[in-house]
């Protein structure tokens, strides 16, 4: 992906980092659509739901702790707001 070496999920530690990360995803999709398994909104949202449902396994399989301080409401608010935000 064209996010650059600094823009990994592990590099996101603030709201501005998150904004830069999302902007990097958008730019990468525009520049490298063939590298995306889920390049359409419907497929992307399906993948978000599927990955989230099984994310505990991802963390266990990569010997990382399962996050316990996630604000699920915040993520839901971000997705809901993006539906209508101009």
For residue range 22-41, what is the model confidence (pLDDT) as tens digits? 999 999 999 999 999 999 99
Find the domain containing 54 and state its range: 37-86
Q: What is the mean pLDDT of residues 1-8?
A: 59
Distance CA 41, CA 49 (A): 12
Same domain, 29 and 41: no
Give me the number of domains the chain comprises.
Answer: 2
Report pTM.
0.84
CA distances from 48 to 5, 6, 19 (A): 23, 22, 18
Same domain, 31 and 57: no
In DSSP notation, 54-65 reads THHHHHHHTT-P
| Half-sphere exposure for 60 (CA within 13 Å, toward CB) | 4
Same domain, 9 and 44: no
Tell me: pLDDT of 43 over 60: yes
The pLDDT score that the predictor gives to residue 3 is: 55
Same domain, 4 and 42: no
Q: What is the mean pLDDT of residues 69-86?
A: 95
* Number of neighbouring beta carbons within 10 Å of residue 7: 20
Same domain, 29 and 4: yes
Same domain, 47 and 63: yes
Q: What is the mean pLDDT of residues 7-15?
A: 91
Same domain, 43 and 85: yes
């Amino acid at each position: 992906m064209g996010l650059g070496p600094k823009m990994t999920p592990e590099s996101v530690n603030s709201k501005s980092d998150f904004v830069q990360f999302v902007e990097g995803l958008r730019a990468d999709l525009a520049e490298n659509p063939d590298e995306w398994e889920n390049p359409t909104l419907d497929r992307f949202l399906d993948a978000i739901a599927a990955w989230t449902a099984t994310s505990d396994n991802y963390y266990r399989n990569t010997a990382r702790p399962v996050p316990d301080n996630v604000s699920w409401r915040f993520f839901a608010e971000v997705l809901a707001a993006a539906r209508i935000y101009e």
